[in-house]
């Protein structure tokens, strides 16, 4: 009687399946940090050569190198010191950084969630506009008790963004419309509709002819935390990040999102509904962007003023477009998106300090953000500039051998 033959296991050794993703995650983190420092380096060069007083000193580079190098050091160190002070140099700076990052984190989570499903959601701007519009309308139309009014306004803003994102997901899933084109066009539609609504009796402030809405009642405003502009929306952003992590890593919906993003055909073969997953993902992404938008109309105003800024054209700013940058830098991971949102919140908060203390144009912070996107979106470029980041290729023969086999 012959001995039973043990079953043959196919595929790579278990150690490869466990260790490789961790290595890739660390490599992505190092690449993101390197991209940040490369952006700061290129930004320093721009500061030096865009300043005529500093650039003129480089005529003495070979005769008196201390003059141009010293002037360049003073320029760059003063600017980045002002950026650091304006971002994290005081409790007030930390509060402003956190306040600036709250909306960026929420919108970045929405864009990143779309990325995980293989969807390029450029419509976070329009979804944020609807979140701000609906939340403001609830805030200045109804008079409800404290707590309830704020909760209803927040839910209304989240629902407004979810519906706007769900429309794009439905068109993608049922009509085959490309989400990039649809969401770009819906951004324009959302902005145009808000501009029109601000001229109607339901939204325009009585006695005014310009497009401005009435002030939101204090009962609907997001309460301040500690002091200044740090408001409850920052806690909402952290809770949203935790919720997105749980959704992606611990729920069946998240598994479907990741599966569809990795390979839609394989996910469909496994019995998953790609259309339903697409609609669900875009709806959730819109809800997160709507949460970001409502902060512009429910959050406390500048300084210690507890009254939110009235709804006007452009009140949302560019949070939906900045969210793409945040999601890219955060690698579409919730924790990475939180840190990326804090970073860009610090850039926004420190940009004014650079302008006032270092006489550096405020637009340089926008250039820094664009440079970060450039390097983060092109890891091959970062690896070329920094060769030590290049990934070593494993030998093909060794990878093909089963565990315990020898060459």
Least confident stretch, 75-79, 135-139, 157-161, 225-229: 225-229
Query: pLDDT band at residue 28, thresholds of 50, 70 and 90?
Result: confident
H/E element, 120: none
Instruction: Give whole-number Cα distances, 53 to 155, 275, 367, in Å.
Output: 53, 59, 21
The percent of residues in the chain predicted with pLDDT above 90, rounded, is 51
Q: What's the pTM value of the predicted model, to 2 decimals? A: 0.84
Instruction: Give the integer Cα–Cα distance in Å for 399 and 407.
Output: 11
Whether the CA torsion 164, 170, 175, 176 is positive or negative: it is positive
Is 155:137 a contact under the CB 8 Å cutoff? no
Is 291:157 a contact under the CB 8 Å cutoff? yes
The pLDDT tens digits for 91-132 are 888 888 998 899 999 999 999 999 999 999 999 999 999 999
The pLDDT tens digits for 133-183 are 999 999 999 999 999 999 999 999 999 999 999 999 999 999 999 999 999
Instruction: Give whole-number Cα distances, 135 to 101, 141, 267, 395, in Å.
Output: 20, 10, 37, 57
Is 276:284 a contact under the CB 8 Å cutoff? no
Whether pLDDT at 8 is above 60: no
Structure tokens at 68: 């141009």
The pLDDT tens digits for 272-328 are 999 999 999 999 999 999 999 999 999 887 655 567 889 999 999 889 999 998 998
Is 60:32 a contact under the CB 8 Å cutoff? no
Give the DSSP letter of residue 273. Answer: -
């Amino acid at each position: 009687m012959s001995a039973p033959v043990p079953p043959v296991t196919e595929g790579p050794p278990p150690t490869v399946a466990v260790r490789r993703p961790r290595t890739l995650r660390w490599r992505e983190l190092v690449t993101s940090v390197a991209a940040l420092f490369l952006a700061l380096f290129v930004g320093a060069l721009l500061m030096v050569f865009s300043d005529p007083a500093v650039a003129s000193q480089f005529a003495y580079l070979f005769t008196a190198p201390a003059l141009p190098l010293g002037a360049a050091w003073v320029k760059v160190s003063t600017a980045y010191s002002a950026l650091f002070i304006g971002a994290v140099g005081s409790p007030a700076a930390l509060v402003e950084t956190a306040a600036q990052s709250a909306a960026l984190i929420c919108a970045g989570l929405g864009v990143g969630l779309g990325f995980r499903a293989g969807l390029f959601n450029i419509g976070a701007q329009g979804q944020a506009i609807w979140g701000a519009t609906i939340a403001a309308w609830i805030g200045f139309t109804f008079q409800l008790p404290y707590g309830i009014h704020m909760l209803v306004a927040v839910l209304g803003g989240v629902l407004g963004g979810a519906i706007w994102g769900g429309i794009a997901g439905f068109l993608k899933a049922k009509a085959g419309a490309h989400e990039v084109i649809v969401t770009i066009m819906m951004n324009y539609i959302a902005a145009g509709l808000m501009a029109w609504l601000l001229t109607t009796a339901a939204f325009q402030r009585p006695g005014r002819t310009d497009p401005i809405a009435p002030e939101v009642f204090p009962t609907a405003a997001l309460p301040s935390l500690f002091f200044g502009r740090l408001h409850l929306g920052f806690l909402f952003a952290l809770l949203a990040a935790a919720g997105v992590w749980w959704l992606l890593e611990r729920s069946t919906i998240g598994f479907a999102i990741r599966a569809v993003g990795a390979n839609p055909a394989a996910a469909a073969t496994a019995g998953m509904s790609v259309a339903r997953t697409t609609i669900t993902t875009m709806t959730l992404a819109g809800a997160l962007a709507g949460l970001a938008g409502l902060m512009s109309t429910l959050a406390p105003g500048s300084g210690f003023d507890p009254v939110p800024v009235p709804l006007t054209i452009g009140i949302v700013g560019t949070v939906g477009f900045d969210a793409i940058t945040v999601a890219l830098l955060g690698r579409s991971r919730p924790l990475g998106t939180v840190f990326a949102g804090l970073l860009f919140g610090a850039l926004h908060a420190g940009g004014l300090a650079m302008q006032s203390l270092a006489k550096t144009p405020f637009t340089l912070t926008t250039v820094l953000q664009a440079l970060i996107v450039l390097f983060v979106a092109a890891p091959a470029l970062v690896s070329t500039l920094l060769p030590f980041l290049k990934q070593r290729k494993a030998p093909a023969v060794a990878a093909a051998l089963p565990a315990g086999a020898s060459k």
